[in-house]
Amino acid sequence: MTTTLCIDIGGSGLKAALVNLDGDMVSERVKIKTPYPCPPERLVESLLRLVDGIGQYDRVSVGFPGLVRNGIIGNVPALSRTSYTGETDPALVERWHGFDLQALLQEAFDKPLRLANDADVQGSAVVEGAGFEFVMTLGTGIGTAIFQDGRLLPHLELSHAQFRTGMDFDAAIGNAARKRIGASRWRSRVLQAIDIFDQFLFFDRCYVGGGNASRLRADELPERCRIVSNTAGLLGGVRLWDHL
């Protein structure tokens, strides 16, 4: 049976597990902190250390916290900082922009490999496959993915749309904002963000995941929305092969 090494790259941590075709983990989930500063080569070196000794696998799926098109990185706010809470480093922005990360990962792992935005990967694990479905991940930044009748649509960086004048969704409800404004105001902003997304997406269902999703109250969410497990960021690595 085909076994997939599923890797979830986050702004605060790097996670991995082996997953079978049924979507079941067949290894322990391993995790290390994301190193900073984190140019592409250091990221790949860290991923290789992360999975050293994890076991045998046939292919690799990688979820990445930024814009990925055809394996090329367009934008990655989290890894463009000198530290987790630091300022954006123009040199890192330039280093990441246009970088062929899929090629470097393919060479390093020497297995069939697919690289996609992390919200696209997580969504692949949780969508029902009917109608227009929207996935929002709450982590260091905000991830989004959209599906039509189970088909993953081209990735759009919707988190960089305007939440209010002078503030995008990423700045409004990212982890830094949560820490700055407190849990109650942050939850209120998340509910407002879901409503704003619905006003231009007209989604049939919404799934909220990521590390900070557990801080929400399920009974406060709109009827068409539900919280999904953070492990979906790994389990979706299997389903990703059905979409790309």
Query: In 10 A of CB 160, how many CB atoms?
Result: 17
For residues 128 and 142, is the Cβ–Cβ distance under 8 A? Answer: no
Q: What CATH number labels 129-243? A: 3.30.420.40
Same fold, 3-119 and 129-243: yes
208 closest CA partner among 232, 186, 240, 237: 232
Q: At residue 78, what is the residue type?
A: A
CA dist., res. 160 & res. 150, Å (int): 24
Query: In 10 A of CB 20, how many CB atoms?
Result: 14
The set of residues, in sequence order, having a beta carbon less than 8 Å from that of 72 and lying 6+ positions away, is 98, 99, 100, 101, 102
Domain boundaries, the chain: 3-119, 129-243
Q: Which pTM value belongs to this model? A: 0.91
Q: What CATH number labels 3-119? A: 3.30.420.40
Residue carrying structure tokens 């988190």 = 159
Q: C-alpha distances in angstroms, 145 versus 120, 178, 209?
A: 5, 22, 11
CA dist., res. 172 & res. 193, Å (int): 9
Tell me the two tokens of residue 214. 């557990």
Residue by residue, pLDDT tens for the chain (244 residues) are 899 999 999 999 999 999 999 889 999 999 999 999 999 999 999 999 999 999 999 999 999 999 999 999 999 999 999 999 889 999 999 999 999 999 999 999 999 999 999 999 999 999 999 999 999 999 999 999 999 999 999 999 999 999 999 999 999 999 999 999 999 999 999 999 999 999 999 999 999 999 899 999 999 999 999 999 888 878 899 999 987 6
